[in-house]
Amino acid sequence: MAVIQVMNLNKTYKQKLKKVTALNNMSFKVEKGQICGFLGPNGAGKSTTLKIMMDLIRADSGKVLINGIESTRTDSRKKVGFMPENPPYIDSLTGRELLLFSAKMHNIDYQKEKKRADELLEMLELSGSADKKLRNYSKGMIQRIGFASTLIIEPDLLILDEPMSGLDPIGRYKFKNILKEVKNSGTTIFFSSHIIADIEDICNSVIIVKDGRVIKQLTQKDMKSMAIEGYRILVPKDVKIKEIEKVERLEDGLQVMYVKRELLNKTIHDLKGVDIISIEPVKKSLEAIFVKEIEQN
């Protein structure tokens, strides 16, 4: 069964005079055990969808089921960790207090929660500032402590809104590794982002939205098959082989040869005795798909 089922959501924000349609019949599913990316340009309605999932705002029509329970019911949020964008935590708490508070809200045993809090602080490299007030945290630190507070409840499902914004490159790298670990322990992860590389790196499936609608959904299979189209092989200039699609001459006496995926073995065989400098896989990038879809719509 799908962990998240979003069914025909519509939402129009009414401001004083003008109305903004944020969601326009948004529907999709997220399967169990995946890392699913929620991708879309600014104002596509990603945050709006996530807020409706957490029942912070109410859809005009349509509904969301989480583990089969309607999101308007509180028990749909059992074992669900949520981190909003630029997470607003009560800033008079310290980092450790925030973790313990989250744990309490999910009725986690006191001894266990203390131990787990220390582990998480360690893991996210916040041990040093654990007892500082959140109002003195930097943006990246808030992001990390927020992430820790979603992990302390031992979630089955993580819903994260732009979890990597504000993280430095090393922070991103580590964060992605943690996400993978968490996924491997059986947790489903659904997160929004507009950084394609991040999604490409770790996601099993991707939902692309624009103007409040899903315009493309890439399943696990799509993601896999979109993987490697061919290879770039860097060799010295004087090497010549038949059946090569395209050759590009570089300076310094080098040239690049493009080969289709299925021809790689044969080509390497043909190149026996040649000094191969490097072989790189060529992917059809998510970026290309994304840009194409966005422009088409």
Ligand X SMILES: Nc1ncnc2c1ncn2[C@@H]1O[C@H](COP(=O)(O)OP(=O)(O)OP(=O)(O)O)[C@@H](O)[C@H]1O
Chain positions contacting another protein, by CB under 8 A: 13, 51, 54-58, 74-75, 77-78, 80, 82, 84, 87-90, 92-93, 101-102, 104-106, 146, 149, 153
Using CB atoms within 10 Å of the CB of residue 52, give its burial: 0 to 12 exposed, 13 to 18 middle, 19+ buried: buried
Q: Strand, helix or coil at 281?
A: strand
Q: Which C-beta is closer to ligand X: that of 79 or that of 194?
A: 194
44 binds, among ligand X, another protein, Mg ion, none (CB under 5 to 8 A by kind): ligand X
Tell me the closest approach of the beta carbon of residue 52 to ligand X, in angstroms.
10
56 binds, among ligand X, another protein, Mg ion, none (CB under 5 to 8 A by kind): another protein
75 binds, among another protein, Mg ion, ligand X, none (CB under 5 to 8 A by kind): another protein
Angle, alpha carbons 238-242-244 (nearest 5°): 90
Q: Which C-beta is closer to another protein: that of 13 or that of 173?
A: 13
Tell me the closest approach of the beta carbon of residue 120 to another protein, in angstroms.
16
Dihedral in degrees, nearest 10, Cα atoms 136, 192, 227, 222:
160
Site string (82-101) toward Mg ion, x via CB under 5 A? ---x----------------
277 binds, among another protein, ligand X, Mg ion, none (CB under 5 to 8 A by kind): none
Q: Which C-beta is closer to Mg ion: that of 165 or that of 220?
A: 165
C-beta separation of 124 from 144 below 8 A? yes
Edge to edge, the sheet with strand 4-14 lists 19-30, 4-14, 61-66, 69-70
Kindly identify the residues of this chain, within the stretch 258-277, that bind ligand X according to CB under 6 A.
none
Question: Of residues 48, 102, 187, 204, which one binds ligand X by CB under 6 A?
Answer: 48
117 binds, among ligand X, Mg ion, another protein, none (CB under 5 to 8 A by kind): none
C-alpha distances out from residue 238 to 216, 231, 270, 277, 278, Å: 45, 19, 14, 13, 16
Give the CB-side neighbour count of residue 164, counting CA atoms within 13 A: 25
Question: Of residues 11, 28, 37, 47, which one binds Mg ion by CB under 5 A?
Answer: 47
- What are the two backbone dihedrals, phi and then psi, of residue 294, each rounded to the nearest 5 degrees? -65, -40
95 binds, among ligand X, another protein, Mg ion, none (CB under 5 to 8 A by kind): none
Distance CA 64, CA 33 (A): 18
**Which among 35-43, 165-173, 270-278, 282-290 is the span making contact with ligand X, rule CB under 6 A?**
35-43
Residue 193, interface with Mg ion (CB under 5 A)? no
3-state helix vs strand vs coil in the chain, percent to 5: 35, 30, 35
Contacts of 268 (CB under 8 A, 6+ apart): 276, 279
Strand 61-66, strand 69-70: pairing: antiparallel
Question: Of residues 47, 143, 149, 205, which one binds ligand X by CB under 6 A?
Answer: 47
Distance CA 10, CA 110 (A): 41
List contacts with ligand X (CB under 6 A).
13, 15, 20, 22, 40, 42-48, 85, 194
List contacts with Mg ion (CB under 5 A).
47, 85
